[in-house]
Structure 1
Amino acid sequence: MPAPSPSAPPHLPVARQPIWTTSGRLHGHEYLYRSPTGLPAGVDRWSAHLQDGATTAVLTALFHDGPPPGDALAFVNVTRSFLVRDLPLPPSAGRLVIEVVESVEAGPDVLDGLLRLRAAGYRIALDDFVASRDQLAMLRYADYVKIDCRDLETGGDELVRVARAFGARLVAERVSSSARRARCTELGFGLLQGDALGRAVTLTL
């Protein structure tokens, strides 16, 4: 599949999935790339260049006229290129949460970029946290750490303990049942995302 064009018109299909507090308050949405037909595209299996294009397409759709309406935060998967200034981020630091995808390596330029972006007011999230070496190096810069419920089956309490070492808010992803919701709440997750709380809905922005 060809890379989405950075200059493509903003009216593109983007999926939105809510992120809730454990008390039932809407905290934000994750916005996800969709194909021109509105279907999931398996972006995490694409090359870095194609992933850059997908992130650009989502950011363009969301922020072409300023931030989305309302005051909920916008979580967007972001590649290395946006952290090191090879590609631009929208000037919406107050609303945009930069969700660092798990393939990003924690080189000095990336760590410098995270420090600079936090100083500029952007929030940082680490996606699919499994306590890899690179993720551990980035952990001190994270406002949010997102953990897939499936990884809790192997990482358990220790993975959660490591994730909160620097005070980040924990987000449970793929909460697909009431049992998983209860387990994540028991483990101290403050935020929940998954089909049990609201499926990803495709929009045309």
Structure 2
Amino acid sequence: MPAPYPSATEAQPVARQPIWTTTGELHGYEYLYRSRIGRPAQVDRWSAPLQDGATACVLSTVFQHGEPPGDALAFVNVTRSFLVHDLPLPFAPGRLVVEVVETVAADRRVLDGLAVLRAAGYRIALDDFVASADQVAMLPFADYVKVDCRDVEADTGRLTRLARREGALLVAERVSSDARRRRCADLGFDLLQGDALGRAVTVQL
């Protein structure tokens, strides 16, 4: 069976976008897949095996020499294969936040896998939360729930109340203006991420 991660010599660029508290303190970075020339690749349109490979590349690049520099948390989009232990995660429960992509179905193996990861000390984030049945089923395991701030602008508060129901921290994604930043803070979001607070910048770790 081939190695689940590329070797250290095959590491490629990743993008890094900061996640801030509403009081301006750095909480973590989301690390995102980029092509070998440093460009976005629309990974969400890829087949499941190719998405697994993209996740493996990011994990390998970020954690190949131990843990990423600094002490900020590292949020990484993770596919089903890593949640059910078909592919291994790096042993970094103190730093890695396992960000469950929105296409993952909450079947029994996934829910059991989330329970095992939480018990091992990993933090769990639900990405692009829209209150689908699968996402709601995963809420009891979530430390973070990430919501596109555009989805709550016309919302009466139902989405944020549901996202917070199990005690998770709320992360506003795609905060693209100061007006949206203020609006998300007023709505009670705990953390903010988006171009208004720092763009995703391609880095070579």
Same fold by TM-score greater than 0.5:
yes
Bucket of the pairwise TM-score, normalised by the shorter protein: over 0.9
| Runs of at least 5 residues in structure 2 that lack an aligned partner in the other structure | none
Which letter maps to 1:114? L
SS in 2 for 1:153: coil
Distance in 2 separating the partners of 1:153 and 1:44: 24
Deviations 1:25-78 (A, max 9, x none): 000000000011100000111111111000000000010111101110000000
Contact 2:118 2:124 in 1 (8 A): yes
Partner of 2:176: 176
Structure 2 residue 46 is the aligned partner of structure 1 residue 71 = no
SS in 2 for 1:109: helix
| Aligned residue runs from structure 1 range 152-167, under 5 A | 152-167=152-167
Between the two proteins, what is the percent identity of the paired residues? Answer: 71
SS in 2 for 1:32: strand
Which letter maps to 1:28? G
| Aligned residue runs from structure 1 range 96-107, under 5 A | 96-107=96-107
Q: Which ranges of 4 or more aligned residues in structure 1 deviate by more than 2 Å? A: 5-11, 153-156
CA RMSD of aligned residues (A): 1.1
Partner of 1:185: 185
- TM-score (normalizing by structure 1): 0.95
Contact 1:100 1:127 in 2 (8 A): yes
Deviations 1:134-185 (A, max 9, x none): 0000001000000011211354411000000000000000000011001100
| Runs of at least 5 residues in structure 1 that lack an aligned partner in the other structure | none
Distance in 2 separating the partners of 1:116 and 1:63: 21
- TM-score (normalizing by structure 2): 0.95
- Comparing 58-67 with 147-156, greater Cα deviation is found at 147-156
Distance in 2 separating the partners of 1:105 and 1:173: 22
Distance in 1 separating the partners of 2:24 and 2:190: 10
The number of equivalent residue pairs is: 201
Partner of 1:202: 202
Distance in 2 separating the partners of 1:104 and 1:147: 16
Partner of 1:150: 150
Alpha-carbon deviation of 1:198? Answer: 0.4
